[in-house]
Amino acid sequence: MTTTIGIAGNQIIQSVDVFNGNHVSYTPQGFVTAIQQAGGLPMILPIGKAETAAGYISKIDKLLLAGGQDISPDFFGEEPHPKLEETNRNRDLFEIALIKEAIKQHKPIFAVCRGMQLINITLGGTLFQDLSLYRDWTVKHGQQPTQPQFATHDIHVERDSILYQLFGSNYRVNSYHHQAINQLAPTLKITAKASDGIVEAVESVTKEQRILGVQWHPELRFDIDAKEFKLFNYFVNQF
C-alpha cells in the first residue's frame, strides 16, 4: 500500500510577471521528487483555515513541513525584532493546526528548516529571531551565494538518534537560515548541532510522538548525496 505524504504548501502572493499576477500555491520540487523516488505519494496541502487541518490530516499517512518565511514572533511571546524578515501569518496558523492534528491523529511528522522551528514553537519552545541574538554565533548558516548542492558546514549527531543511524556521528550540510531554536520544547530532544552550538536536528522524546526535524535542506541535495535520500526513504517507508 502506497504511503501518502502530505506536504504543507506555501504561497507566492506577489504580482510577478511569470504568473501573470496570479497567486500561486506550491512546494519545492525536491520534496515531491524525493518522496516519489522513495515510493511515496506526495500531496500538497494548500494554506487554508485552521479548522480544515483535521480533514487534511485524516487523508494522509504522514506530514512533511517545508522551509520558507520567518515565523510570526508573537507565537512565542515576542515583538518583531528589527532583523525579522517576511512572515505569513495565515501559513503559521494553518501549519500549527496541521502539527497539532498530526500529533492528535498519531501521524508522523518530518520537518525541514522553518518546519522544524515551527514544531518547536507549537510544542512550547522559542526562537532566536536572528542569529545575531545568539552570542556564540561563529558559523555561516546562510550560505548564499554558494549553491545549495554544496554542503558548507559540519554537524555533530547524537548517538541515540534516528539521524545517527542514517548519517553517523558527523555530517556536512547546506545551510539557509537566519533564525534558530532558542529554548527547546519540553517534548523534543536535540539530536544534532553545528560546531557553534546551533540546533541542527530534533526528534520527539517518546516513540509515541513521531517527529523528526532538520535545519538544513535535504530536498536540495538528495539527488547527489545518497545519505540525504536515505532521510526521505526512512520517512516514507520506516518512520
Q: Given the C-alpha cell 498530526, which residue does it identify?
A: 102
Which uninterrupted H or E stretch holds 116?
helix 114-122
Choice among 95, 200, 203, 219 that is catalytic: 219
Q: Determine whether 208 is an active site residue.
A: no
Choice among 95, 101, 113, 141 that is catalytic: 113
CA angle, 214 then 48 then 6, to 5°? 45
Q: How many CA atoms lie within 13 A of 37 on its CB side?
A: 16
Measuring CA to CA, which residue among 208, 97, 212, 120 is closest to residue 162?
A: 212
What single letter denotes the amino acid at residue 59?
K
| Separation CA 29–CA 220 (nearest Å) | 9
Q: Determine whether 219 is an active site residue.
A: yes
Rg from Cα positions in the chain: 17
Take residue 8 and report the three cell numbers written for it.
504543507
Q: Determine whether 217 is an active site residue.
A: yes
| Separation CA 194–CA 10 (nearest Å) | 27
Choice among 141, 200, 217, 228 that is catalytic: 217
Catalytic residues: 113, 217, 219
